[in-house]
């Protein structure tokens, strides 16, 4: 795993398309039990090099009901975005994750992640890539989360930009987060024994 992560951190595949430069941001270990697959690092994460080190990360940790120390424990969590580098700014927010990362690196990472019990698919890029039966909309996919368990849990992006979605879909915090938190705690308890 160490060699593979070093190769990924030296990857320049997308460098011609990244105005802010290449800086792959991900974490994993051979022991990781839960994989978080999100979109791509934002500008803050690009600058710090720490995954989910922003407001979206705060909300995600709140959804998972865990602290930072647990979140960044690579024996529990692997953090593998669809695009490893910050894609840059678009007209209405960050650009989509680059399409080169997931097909180039994800299968190689999963070959070494033998202890994974759960994969969190955050946002439609991850869900459309990994789910053969994703619904027409992210809302429908997330609402029908039980169709994808126990291997996957599907989530909207925890960005503050999604506050309106969260208010419109209050079932998410009542139903989905209850299941998510219980599942995460079960895995963490067995890991810490």
How do the residues of the chain divide into helix, strand and coil, expressed in percent and rounded to 5?
A: 45, 10, 45
Give the 3-state secondary structure of residue 73.
coil
Residue 138 tokens read as 């992210």
| CB of 51 closer than 8 Å to CB of 45 | yes
pLDDT at 192 over 80: no
Residue 133 tokens read as 């039966």
Query: What pTM was estimated for this model as a whole?
Result: 0.96
For 166-178, the pLDDT digits (tens) are 999 999 999 999 9
| CB of 34 closer than 8 Å to CB of 121 | no
Token pair 């995600």 in the structure block, residue: 60
For 1-37, the pLDDT digits (tens) are 999 999 999 999 999 999 999 999 999 999 999 999 9
| CB of 113 closer than 8 Å to CB of 28 | yes
Set out the domains of the chain in order of their start, with CATH numbers: 2-191 (3.40.470.10)
For 119-152, the pLDDT digits (tens) are 999 999 999 999 999 999 999 999 999 999 999 9
State the pLDDT at residue 176: 96
């Amino acid at each position: 795993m160490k060699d593979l992560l070093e190769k990924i951190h030296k990857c320049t595949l997308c460098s011609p398309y990244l105005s802010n430069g290449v800086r792959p941001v991900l974490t994993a270990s051979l022991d990781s039990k839960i994989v978080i697959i999100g979109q791509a690092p934002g500008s803050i994460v690009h600058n710090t090099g720490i995954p989910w080190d922003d407001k979206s990360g705060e909300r995600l940790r709140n959804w998972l009901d865990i602290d930072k120390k647990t979140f960044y424990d690579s024996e529990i969590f692997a953090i593998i975005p669809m695009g490893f580098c910050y894609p840059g700014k678009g007209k209405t927010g960050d650009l989509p994750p680059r399409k080169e990362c997931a097909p180039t690196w994800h299968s190689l990472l999963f070959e070494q992640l033998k202890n994974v019990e759960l994969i969190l698919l955050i946002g439609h890029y991850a869900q459309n890539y990994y789910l053969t039966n994703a619904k027409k909309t992210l809302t429908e996919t997330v609402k029908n989360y039980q169709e994808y368990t126990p291997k996957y849990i599907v989530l909207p992006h925890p960005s503050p930009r999604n506050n309106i979605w969260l208010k419109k879909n209050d079932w998410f915090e009542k139903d989905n987060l209850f299941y998510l938190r219980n599942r995460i705690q079960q895995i963490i308890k067995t890991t810490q024994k």
